[in-house]
Structure 1
């Protein structure tokens, strides 16, 4: 279950290795490259499953991503996908007639006419017989029970962003702060590391933040922090969305790996329901294990305007269940469509068109993705079951007309 907060800069980003800015970025003699991958041209219409996929649903996800305010801070200039060409494709999508019986086929033709497809190929490393495929997991928006006031049954405070938290952009450093840390706070001698989870739980930032609302217990709060956002149902039946608003910059440690390493659960038992139930059944162990994850997430709230859509991803657009993909944002520009080759658990057909709209700390590399699957308990089960190795095909926008 990858955490849904922004990632540290990857080695590929720091080294600026061969990133493309569009289909015309390399000469005919040189293959296009992104990170450690080569992009091999393929015909979109010939992709297995392309003619059967509901590309109209992906088109709506594309339009929403186009209309979003974009990431803050902005992505680096060198990420793959020409911003000018992508903007031209977005303008064409906004002008497209989406009514009438022929609409689904027009959506399919839109992608065929406005984009060129490239299979993302990584060399084999000895673990697979041929060229390596990608890796896809799933994530979801948890739906939790909460209250705007503390009381019986609501004891775990969801904290707002502290007023002294300084978040660093990718590649940014501050004097006195370990370059491995991605946030800190000003001190008399410069910058210092922000308190870790244990210190925050013990009151280290009292007076610097405030509770936004209260959840049932520390396990629900931990789930919210791992996912990075959630939908909270209040006692009156209404719902409020809780969104990521910064972290303390400390490294993330997977509680699943800790549970397996200590022998509490087997690797094949790491469903959300099972590991949260284990933590609640063993509160002393749970507190210790959760504190071993030094990372701590802060939040903000906003209304739920469309229950069918998820929270905003890193691109600023509401996530579309089954169509929004988290990618390595230091390599790929948000808004790029991707074709996932092969049958995916819980998805129809033998291929699936999705749109890059989010990122995550564990989503690293050119052929690594995390598919947003929806809200609530059923989506959580589906996300936990999604561990597969599809092929990745990126759709780069064709050069805009001069």
Structure 2
């Protein structure tokens, strides 16, 4: 277990809430509401930029361009929760200063901006020292707008009878929200994958496109986006527009548990190879994942744009990550340090890069968990499918929230009869 964040402030007093994330100054004993925790169930450790391997050699200008795109959304939209989280408010202030930078910023100036505006903190779950990384991509498949013997697998638009519940704390529905349909005046769980594949939604005008391979449709659901290349050369861009609320089951895990694929050889290509070699067993395997995704046509995307992430922006290959949005704010910069199989023939090589949180996913859970967006097409898919690796996460915290720079009110004197805490023990707000 990592030691929780311990930062000396004033006369040896410490601030931090074990198991509740980083807490800012404030005390209910002084008549103030307790300060909010920034990151749930997280251990944090302050570090210097010089301690980040590969920081000096990264492309900070590209990272800044991706960050500024997130800033546009931060400026236009409120936070996902009300009242807004301190991290969101602080990022909005940083974004206002980023907007005053020149249109084109060189690498040296971009690096100086990040180092001036943020302080790096290692972040991990309380019970492990490293985080975990996976990869995702935007598939590209051949298809048509009209069903034929060649293209007979549908990709569906969001059904009109789909009701996705709002989160308990308010805000828009998420990909973890329950989904229902109304039957005889009451809500029941929405159809699962097997029912939909068996035709419960057919002939309702929901088919956006038809593709050749059911396995391609399955992976399009997992990735949440797909490019469908039509016979005339047009590319139809489809993006996530809802889900059926059924539980997501990783079929790779099922293959491992059943002894069909060794854990060390598990990848997206290994799953595809098993399904291709065992069509009937593969079909039943995919149906074990009851989750199902619906799409919309993303007409707003340009030819060079990546898929649209949950922040509502086109993703940047190699710079955008999906995070747990219950913990983190979109637009947050993270520096990732890992050894990943991104080299020739899957050779391991350092992945040391500043990334921006712009997306989320149902399997992305925890303070140090991320899905790296690798782009579109077969090559990106092969690369993304190999990533299941540990890595170190360094969160860039806006200086306004840095406890080492933040003034902390001195506690009121205690009555003489009250026992005093030793100087080495934190008086937790």
With structure 1 as the length reference, what TM-score do the two structures score?
0.82
Matching residue within 249, 253, 276 for 1:253: 249
* Cα distance change, pair 32–91 in 1 and its aligned pair in 2 (3 A): same
Aligned length: 367
Q: Alpha-carbon deviations, 1:15-45, whole Å to 9, x = none?
A: xx7355xxx83469x9976222122222234
Q: Assess if the C-alpha contact under 8 Å between 2:47 and 2:120 holds in 1.
A: yes
In structure 2, C-alpha distance between the alignment counterparts of 1:190 and 1:80, rounded to whole Å:
35
Alpha-carbon distance in structure 1 between the residues aligned to 2:205 and 2:118: 46
Matched, 1:284 2:280: yes
CA contact (8 A) 1:70 1:314 kept: no
The residue that corresponds to 2:113 in the other structure is 110
Cα distance in 1 between the residues matched to 2:84 and 2:390: 24
Name structure 2 gaps, 5 residues minimum: 1-18, 28-34, 171-175, 344-348, 402-429
**Does residue 188 of structure 1 match 2:191?**
no
Deviation at residue 298 of structure 1 after TM alignment: 0.7
| Structure 1 unaligned residues grouped into runs of 5+ | 1-16, 126-130, 174-179
> Which structure ranks higher in relative contact order (CA pairs < 8 Å, sequence separation ≥ 6)?
1
Q: Which residue of 2 aligns with 1:314?
A: 310
Q: Quick check: 1:210 aligned with 2:206?
A: yes
Tell me the secondary structure at the aligned position of residue 362 of structure 1. Answer: coil
Counterpart in the other structure of 1:341? 337
Partner of 2:55: 50
Range moving further from structure 2, 193-202 or 43-52: 43-52
How far the C-alpha of 1:234 sits from its partner, in A, is 1.2
Decide whether aligned partners of structure 1 residues 95 and 224 sit closer, same or farther in structure 2, where only a CA change above 3 A counts: same
- Kindly provide the CA deviation profile for residues 268-289 of structure 1, in whole angstroms up to 9, marking residues without a partner as x: 3433233223313322212222
Tell me the alpha carbon deviations over residues 127-167 of structure 1, each in whole angstroms, 9 at most, x when there is no partner: xxxx6111111111111111111113211010110001011
Larger Rg: 2
Please tell me whether the aligned partners of residues 181 and 190 of structure 2 are also in contact (alpha carbons under 8 angstroms): yes
Contact 1:53/1:349 (8 A) holds in 2: no
SS of the residue 1:381 aligns to: helix
Q: Does 1:241 find its partner at 2:237? A: yes
| 1:83-232 equivalences in 2 (<5 Å) | 83-99=88-104, 103-123=106-126, 125=127, 132-171=129-168, 182-206=178-202, 208=204, 210-232=206-228
Q: In structure 2, do the counterparts of structure 1 residues 332 and 160 end up closer, same or farther at CA, with 3 Å as the change threshold?
A: same
State how far apart, in whole Å, the 2-side matches of 1:263 and 1:71 are: 50
